[in-house]
Amino acid sequence: MNDLWTIGSLLKWTEGFFAEKGIDTPRLDAEILLAHVLEKERIYLYAHFDEPMTSTELSAYKEMIKKRAARYPVAHILGIKPFMGLDFIVNEHVLVPRPETELLVEAVLEICPKEVPVRVLDMGTGSGAILLSLLSYLPQATGTGVDISSDALKIAAENSEALHIDRAQWVNSDLFTNVEAHEYDWLVSNPPYLTAPDMQNLEKEVKYDPKTALYGGTDGLDIYRRLASEGGAYLKVGGHCIVEVGAGQARQVAELFTEQDFELVRIINDYADTERHVLLRKKG
C-alpha cells in the first residue's frame, strides 16, 4: 500500500485484500470502515471517487484494515452497531446484536399498543439492544435488563444514556436470582444457545464475542430450561414470553415451556426461513 490513494482506488484495493483474507463481505466492510474514517455516509464515497486521501485519514484506515484482516468484527472496530434504527455501543463484553434479533423486537411491537404501559423483563440483556429498542418504540413502557456480566451492564447503561432512555433499570444477576418479584407483561431473551460442537466450529468473527453469551451447555438448552421453569413466576397471567433460538431448537424449546406455565402462540422464521423465535403466552 502506497501513500497516493483516492477513495476509489483505496476501496478497490481493500476489497481485493479482504477477499484474499476470506472475509465474506469485502466491499461492504471496506466501505463501512472508510466512511467511518471520513465521517461521511457511504453514498459519499461514490460521489467522490477521485478525492485523494489525506495522510491522517490513510493512517487511521490502515489500522482498521489490519484489525479487519485479523477477522476482528467491524462492529468492534467501530465500537458501534446499528440495530432497529438505533446505534448501540458494543465491545468485547457484549454480543454484537444480529439482524435476525430485530424480528424478535418487531414481534413484540406487533402485539403491544404504543399507548399502553407495559413492563418488560430482558434476560441476558448484554448491550441492552432488545430492551432499549422496545422502550424507544413503546414510549409508555418500562423495563428491567438482567445480565450475569457487570461489564455488559456498564455498556447497557451507556447505551441507555446515549439514547436518552431513562425507563430501564439494570440488574446484575444469574438469571432470576437477584430479580425482585414483579409481574411483567413481557419476558424477552436472546440467551446463549450454542452447543459444545458449535463452540468448536465458531466463525472467526464470533470468537470475539463473550463466551458466556454464546455457550448454552452441551445441547445448547441449559438457559431455556431455567427460563421455562422460573420465568412464569415473573409474568402476569396472559403475559408473553419470546426467546431467540438456534437452528433446529425451536420445537424442543417450545416443549420446555409448554411443560410449564406456557402455551405456544407461534414460531417465527428468520430471513433464511430458519425457525428463530418462539413466542409463548402464560396460561391462566
List binding-site positions: 124-128, 147, 190-193
What span, in angstroms and rounded, lies between the C-alpha atoms of 62 and 262?
53
206 near 152, Cβ under 8 Å? no
Sequence ranges of the binding site for substrate = 190-193
Map grid coordinates 424477552 to a residue.
188
Distances, alpha carbon 73 to alpha carbons 134, 181, 189, in Å = 25, 38, 23
Neighbouring residues of 53: CB distance < 8 A, sequence distance ≥ 6:
5, 6, 7, 10, 61
**CA dist 69 to 25, 77, 161, 180, 206, Å?**
12, 11, 33, 45, 14
Other CB atoms within a 10 A radius of the CB of residue 175 amount to: 18
User: Which parts are annotated binding residues for S-adenosyl-L-methionine?
Assistant: 124-128, 147, 190
How far apart (Å, rounded) are the C-alpha atoms in residues 114 and 88? 22
Residue 125 per-residue DSSP state: -
Run of H or E residues at 253: helix 250-258
The sign of the torsion formed by the CA atoms of 167, 97, 238, 121 equals: negative
